[in-house]
Amino acid sequence: MTKRICLSGADMYELEEVFTGRRGIASVRTGYINAAPNARHEDVATGAAGGRMGIEICYDPKKIDISQLLDLHFAVVTPYSIDGQGYVRGSMYRAGVFYESAEDEPQIQLYLTFLAGKGRCPATGEHLTLNDPNSSAAARRVLHATMERLTSFQTAADEHQGYLKQHPETETYIDLARLRELVKF
C-alpha cells in the first residue's frame, strides 16, 4: 500500500532530486498542486492558474513515515519565508504540505505547530521576561508554511521530469551534494 503527499516551497526540480531514490519512496513527480484544471507550466508560473509548483511523492508508510518526509522537506525549505526561497519567488513557491488522507492531518498540524514555536521561549508568566531572542515582535520568526487538503495534482510535461538529471550543469539553491553526504535514509 502506498500513500501520497505533495510538497512545495522551492524549485520543483530541486525538490524532486531531494526525494528521488530515498528508501520507502516509490515515485516522485514534478507538477502543479491544487491548480486550475489543465494548467500549463506558464499558467502556474505567472499565477494565472493559482496553485503551487511542487512535487508529488508516493511512499510506503511502513518504510518511511510522514514525519521523516517533513524532516527532510523542512531541512531544505525554510517554512519562515513567505513566498519561496533562493531564486524562486512568488506565491506559487510558498512552502506547503498537501495531504490526501485525513489521518495525516493531525500529524502534519502537530509538525507545523512545532515549527511555529521553534526558537520561542516558553511562557513564564506575565511579568517575567527571560533572555528571549523572540521577545521583539519585529524579530520574531513567523511560520508561512501551509497545510492544505490535496484537491488535484497535475503532472508537469515530460521535459520537467528528472530535469536536474538531464541538465546536471544547472545551478541549484539547495546544496544537493552536501545533502547526500548528510542524509542517509
CATH number of the domain that residue 71 is part of: 3.30.1060.10
- Asked whether the beta carbons of 52 and 33 are under 8 A apart, the reply is yes
Query: Is the pLDDT assigned to residue 133 strictly greater than 70?
Result: no
**CA distance linking residue 59 with residue 1, whole number of Å:** 9
Range in 12-16, 82-86, 179-183 the model is least confident about: 179-183
Q: Considering the domain boundaries, does residue 55 fall inside one?
A: yes
pLDDT (mean) for 63-90? 91
Query: Is the pLDDT assigned to residue 146 strictly greater than 90?
Result: yes
Q: Considering the domain boundaries, does residue 27 fall inside one?
A: yes
Domain containing 145 equals: 3-119+138-182
Residue 42: pLDDT band with limits 50, 70, 90? very high
Among the listed residues 171, 126, 22, 145, the one whose alpha carbon sits nearest the alpha carbon of residue 77:
145
Query: Is the pLDDT assigned to residue 162 strictly greater than 60?
Result: yes
pLDDT (mean) for 71-99? 91
**CA distance linking residue 160 with residue 166, whole number of Å:** 10
Q: Considering the domain boundaries, does residue 128 fall inside one?
A: no
86: buried, middle or exposed (CB in 10 Å: 19+, 13-18, 0-12)? middle
Query: Is the pLDDT assigned to residue 131 strictly greater than 80?
Result: no
Q: Considering the domain boundaries, does residue 126 fall inside one?
A: no
Count: domains in the chain: 1
Q: Considering the domain boundaries, does residue 66 fall inside one?
A: yes
Among the listed residues 93, 115, 112, the one whose alpha carbon sits nearest the alpha carbon of residue 32:
93
Note the pLDDT tens digit of each residue in 90-114: 999 999 999 999 999 999 999 999 9
Residue 122: pLDDT band with limits 50, 70, 90? low
User: In the prediction, which pLDDT does 137 show?
Assistant: 59
**Beta-sheet pairing, 96-99 with 146-149:** parallel
Residue % of the chain over a pLDDT of 90: 68
- Asked whether the beta carbons of 30 and 68 are under 8 A apart, the reply is no
Q: Considering the domain boundaries, does residue 110 fall inside one?
A: yes
Q: Considering the domain boundaries, does residue 92 fall inside one?
A: yes
Q: Considering the domain boundaries, does residue 131 fall inside one?
A: no
Query: Is the pLDDT assigned to residue 132 strictly greater than 80?
Result: no
User: In the prediction, which pLDDT does 134 show?
Assistant: 52
pLDDT (mean) for 144-153? 96
